[in-house]
Structure 1
Amino acid sequence: MQFRLEKRREPSRFMLYATPVAAVLLTMLLGGIIFSLIGYNGFGAVREIFLTPLTNPYKWQDLGVKAAPLIIIGVGLSIAYRANVWNIGAEGQYIIGGLAGTGVALATWGMTGWWILPLMVLAGMAGGMAYASIPALLKTRLNVNEILTSLMLTYASVQLIYYLIRAPWKDPMGMGFPQTRLFSEAARLPTIIPGTIVHLGVPMAVLVGFIAWFVMTRTVFGYRMRVVGAAPSAARYGGFSENKTIWLAMLVSGGLAGLAGVLEVAGPFQRMVPGFPTNYGFTAIIVAFLGRLNPLGVIVAGVVLAITFVGGEVAQTTIGLPNAATGIFQAMMLFFLLAADILIKYRVRRVTHQASVETA
Structure 2
Amino acid sequence: MQFRLEKRAEPSRLMLYLAPILALAITAVLGALLFSVMGYDGIGAVREIFLTPLTNPYKWQDLAVKASPLVIIAVGLSVAYRANVWNIGAEGQYIVGAIAGTGVALLTYNLSGPWILPLMLVAGMAGGAAYAAIPAFLRTRFRVNEILTTLMLTYASVNLLNYLVFGPWKSPTAMGQPQTVLFSLDQSLPYVVPGTIIHLGTPIAIAVALIVWLVMSRSVFGFQIRTVGLAPHAARYGGFSADRTVWMALLLSGALAGLAGILEAAGPFGRLVPQFPTNYGFTAIIVAFLGRLHPIGCLFAGIILAITFVGGEVAQTTMRLPFAAVGVFQAMVLFLLLAADFFVRHRFRAVEPKTSARPA
| Deviation for aligned residue 1:321 | 1.8
Task: Decide which moves more: 10-19 or 97-106.
Answer: 10-19
2:240 counterpart letter in structure 1: F
* Structure 1 residues 44-63: aligned runs within 5 Å: 44-63=44-63
2:343 corresponds to: 343
Using the TM superposition, give the Cα deviation of residue 356 of structure 1 relative to its aligned residue in structure 2, in angstroms. Answer: 7.4
For 1:315, the equivalent position in structure 2 comes to 315
Q: Flag the 1:109–1:42 CA change in 2: closer, same or farther, 3 A.
A: same
Distance 1:325 1:93, change over 3 A: farther
Q: Which residue of 1 aligns with 2:331?
A: 331
Alignment of 1:128 onto 2:128: yes
Query: Once structures 1 and 2 are overlaid, which stretch shifts more, 182-191 or 326-335?
Result: 326-335
Structure 1 residues 145 and 36: alpha-carbon distance in aligned structure 2, compared to 1, 3 A threshold: farther
- Asked if 1:280 is matched to 2:273, the reply is no
Give yes or no for the alignment of 1:24 onto 2:24: yes
For residues 242-262 of structure 1, what are the alpha-carbon distances to aligned partners after superposition, in whole Å with 9 as ceiling and x for unaligned?
A: 111111111110000000001
Answer whether contact 2:215 2:221 (CA < 8 A) is retained: yes
Confirm or deny: 8 A CA contact 1:101 1:121 kept in the other structure.
yes
Deviation at 1:144, TM superposition (A): 1.5
Secondary structure at the aligned position of 1:43 is classed as helix
Tell me the CA shift for residue 276 of structure 1.
Answer: 0.8
Contact 1:290 1:334 in 2 (8 A): no
Distance 2:47 2:200 in 1: 30
What is the one-letter code of the residue matched to 2:58?
Y
Amino acid at match of 1:185: L
Q: 1:312·1:325 contact (CA, 8 Å) conserved in 2?
A: no
Letter in 2 for 1:316: Q
2:211 aligned partner = 211
**Distance in 1 between the 2:179 and 2:354 partners?**
70
CA spacing shift, 1:311–1:137, aligned 2, 3 Å? same
User: Structure 1 counterpart of 2:262, which letter?
Assistant: V
In structure 2, do the counterparts of structure 1 residues 161 and 356 end up closer, same or farther at CA, with 3 Å as the change threshold?
farther
Equivalent residue number for residue 150 of structure 2: 150
SS of corresponding position for 2:348 = strand
SS at structure 2 position matched to 1:292? coil
- Find the residue that maps to 2:347 and give its secondary structure: strand
Between the aligned partners of 1:63 and 1:341, the Cα distance in structure 2 is: 24
Find the aligned partners of 1:25 and 1:228 in 2 and give their Cα distance. 37
Q: Displacement of 1:349 after TM fit? A: 2.9
Q: Please show how residues 1-16 of structure 1 align to structure 2 within 5 Å.
A: 2-16=2-16
How many pairs were matched up? 358
Aligned residues of 1:78 and 1:294 also touching (Cα < 8 A): yes
- 1:265 corresponds to: 265
1:241 is displaced (CA, Å) by: 1.1
**How much has 1:326 moved relative to structure 2?**
4.4
What do residues 314-346 of structure 1 show as CA deviations (whole Å, max 9, x unaligned)? 111112222244443343233223322332333
- The answer (yes or no) to whether the contact 1:68–1:202 under 8 Å persists in 2 is yes
Partner of 2:242: 242
Deviation of the 1:149 alpha carbon: 1.2
Match of 2:51, SS state, is: helix
The whole-number CA distance in structure 2 between the counterparts of 1:208 and 1:191 is 18
Q: Is the 8 A contact 1:74 1:298 kept in 2?
A: yes
Structure 1 contact 89–154 (Cα < 8 Å) conserved: yes
Output aligned runs, 1:27-176, within 5 Å: 27-176=27-176
TM-score (norm 1): 0.95
Alpha-carbon distance, 1:137 to partner: 1.3
Match of 1:9, SS?
coil
Rounded to whole Å, the distance in 2 between the matches of 1:214 and 1:191 is 27
Aligned 8 A contact 1:111 1:184 in 2:
no
Per-residue displacement from partner, 1:73-121 (whole Å, max 9, x unpaired)? 1111111111111111111100111111111111111210111001100
SS in 2 for 1:147: helix
Identity across matched positions, percent = 68
Q: Distance in 2 between matches of 1:356 and 1:70?
A: 54
1:309/1:326 contact within 8 Å kept? no
Matched with 1:306 is 306
**2: distance between equivalents of 1:340 and 1:98?**
34
Mapped partners of 1:3, 1:357: distance in 2: 22
Rounded to whole Å, the distance in 2 between the matches of 1:298 and 1:7 is 23
Residues 1:66 and 1:345: Cα distance change in structure 2 (over 3 Å)? closer
2:20–2:341 Cα contact (<8 Å) kept: no
Instruction: State TM-score, norm by structure 2.
Output: 0.95
Cα distance in 1 between the residues matched to 2:59 and 2:215: 33
Q: Aligned runs of 1:181-220 on 2, under 5 Å?
A: 181-220=181-220
**Larger displacement relative to structure 2 (98-107 or 233-242):** 233-242
Tell me, which stretches of 5 or more residues in structure 1 are unaligned?
Answer: none
Q: Secondary structure of 1:354's match?
A: coil
Aligned to 2:231: 231
